[in-house]
Structure 1
């Protein structure tokens, strides 16, 4: 416990030092016109204090080990500088650390185009989802709203929250419980509070009708720190021998009722492993990730992904999957089964018009109810088309990765998931404010 406590307070110390330094060294630059961001100073109960509850919820994983390296988690092995055991729930911490390096920070909110709220909403939601405030989930956000409207209220009221944004490292559905529902169902009501309708929430998965949130990629375990390390990984992806036609890394599909995961499992287990129509040694590889055993162990699934041409990305409890981005990091072409899994989610990072260039779409109804075999569809794609799609995945890989904080200038020249999210937020806020 002593070492954990020491680490926790060291993290707090480093955060405040970085915050102070970052806002002091921001330089006035013509490139920052209409791009200034002010980081709202919030009481620590809204962010850093929440890290002390990292092991308070026995129903969930103990998050304490994954606070290391400013939320990237512990390294997968001693000598790596790019691979970590990252927990997606800590994207709020990762983003907070990264935005401190943003070159257009201003300590003056009146000069800012956007106001960033460093509130760890996903971590705070755990007490409503699993903890002592389970029956008070409609109160989620009340304390934050009280602070914003009473401490320097002119910052919030200037544009009625239109210029504010935050990260919520869970699907938006987890914050969308109707305020009037009784008895309470799953989730909190943060995004249902009308006072927050104007702010922009970056979530791991968005709803399909709301203008409040925008989906951003799930963080993978790959966080390179320099351009040579990133380029070295690209070379490995390109030379990897794709000995399997397709891969499914995931759980579920064991029930008797028809669903896409069940169909995938049946096809993977019953198909002939000797492929005569292609050069692949196996038609389907399967990595069983049931019960969360893959969540913090990229070694378990990255090698099979590197060895597969296509990675199957069926929806699960919600439409989107972290494995989509794990596969793309491995150069594995994603195969989607419904538009809600990706095309309707990540428009800033993966524009809808590009999906046919790097992915395959097979409607799940065709597989589950019409007898379409996934392997037949994939084997019918010409080899040169497969090569072209893989090159496109490699070309856009930097858009869905979260580089390590403190990365080299060379790597910073490639916009990653954080850079693109910031660009998207600024454009969205500008269009909203212009319409006021």
Structure 2
């Protein structure tokens, strides 16, 4: 889709951004916004809106993301009658977050009054030429035009006064895609954005972080559920609670074909194929407390991305399952982790990098045993540990407690629909966006103190 055929909503979005950005006032009075003021820095359209207009530029190597732009990044609704369910693509997190921030109650048009400065830079979309286009051998240049704009062209004083420590942005691809060494040989995957010293001081909210860099913080993948009112959220929670769980465990994903080399996904596929019809599974202990399951393992084949924009394909089976398996794939984390929370399906992790060492703002690290199960992937792949045996040994009462904790955490992991100014109207319920904003403000505050920058 070229810019000449851009849909009406995209032009309205452009007008909305232009109209609101210079005029948003700091809402809230007195101390309500103390330490919470955010300024959205003005960037030329080539860093955001122009990238949306070029949504089909890299076909067929990279699919068009034009359909996913609808509803300010939420995507089109799954069906006409729904108010909350969308075909959301994770790559739209930057647009989705930007739109939500425009509703933030403590925006300030004066950057000198801001406690943090947001860069509305759609970095993952700007990375596409380096990942799939003609600039694949020029990855160290990704982000340099932005740095030049921030430090030389538009208000360089805003960057220099705190060394960029008060700036933050959102990145809708795993950090792996931005972590190529600037000195790497050509054709190595990724760009060098997170390796460039120019951006070391910027806080990056990213869907998957690396284990050590201080500037990165993982925030949840967007799911397909975006309620616009607390009533819609609570209505869904009631449905999750009353769901009848007739399956022990489920894996929704691809990979792990039977002929592949040993890996955790292959082990899961083998175990599922061997036990899927054994509804009367006997774990060889005579514990009368074991629950009878109609199905031991459900496998939802998502190969080829068929599940990516079709939540009905996996959400219904998840609602009928007690445990959702979350093995790592090309990278440690999965969007499916957050889908399982949404369905009240207890996640089963196979390495700490899949969640425990990622989402510390949203999932309390010290409580992982209360809402998830961890089984070392090495034990499964090489030592013959059967996942079904581990899960069947968990008492039914403990399973109920874990599921209730999963449901309690659910609101923290979804991105509600834009148009609500704060969580006050939600009875104080905070969603993934609210918690991410609180976290980045606290991080920036601590860094400014550490490096003795004045407020």
| Alignment TM class, shorter chain as reference | over 0.9
Aligned-residue CA RMSD (Å): 1.4
Does 2:290 align with 1:275? no
Does 2:427 align with 1:425? no
Q: Corresponding residue for 2:398?
A: 385
List aligned pairs for 1:338-357, cutoff 5 A: 338-357=351-370
Shift of 1:57: 1.5
Shift of 1:417: 0.5
Q: Corresponding residue for 2:302?
A: 289
Q: Give the conservation status (yes or no) of the 8 Å contact 2:178–2:190.
A: yes
Shift of 1:26: 2.5
Q: Which runs of 5+ in 2 are unaligned?
A: 282-289
> How many residues are aligned here?
435
Q: Classify the secondary structure of the residue corresponding to 1:134.
A: coil
Q: Corresponding residue for 2:27?
A: 26
Alpha-carbon distance in 2 for matches of 1:341, 1:278? 28
Alpha-carbon distance in 1 for matches of 2:436, 2:9? 29
Does 2:185 align with 1:185? no
Q: Corresponding residue for 2:109?
A: 107
Q: Classify the secondary structure of the residue corresponding to 1:30.
A: coil
Q: Corresponding residue for 1:318?
A: 331
Match of 2:14 among 12, 15, 30: 12
Q: Corresponding residue for 2:381?
A: 368
Q: Give the conservation status (yes or no) of the 8 Å contact 1:224–1:407.
A: no
Alpha-carbon distance in 2 for matches of 1:211, 1:38? 23
Regions of 4+ moved over 6 Å: none
Q: Classify the secondary structure of the residue corresponding to 2:117.
A: strand
Match of 2:202 among 192, 199, 202: 199
Q: TM-score, normalised by structure 1?
A: 0.97
Shift of 1:25: 5.8
Q: Give the conservation status (yes or no) of the 8 Å contact 2:116–2:441.
A: yes
Q: TM-score, normalised by structure 2?
A: 0.93
Q: Corresponding residue for 2:174?
A: 171
Does 2:239 align with 1:224? no
Q: Corresponding residue for 1:35?
A: 36
TM-superposition CA deviations, 1:269-292 (whole Å, max 9, x none): 011421354221100000000011
Q: Which moved more, 1:54-63 or 1:362-371?
A: 54-63
Q: Which runs of 5+ in 1 are unaligned?
A: none
Q: Which moved more, 1:255-264 or 1:232-241?
A: 255-264
Alpha-carbon distance in 2 for matches of 1:412, 1:273? 46
Match of 2:72 among 70, 73, 82: 70
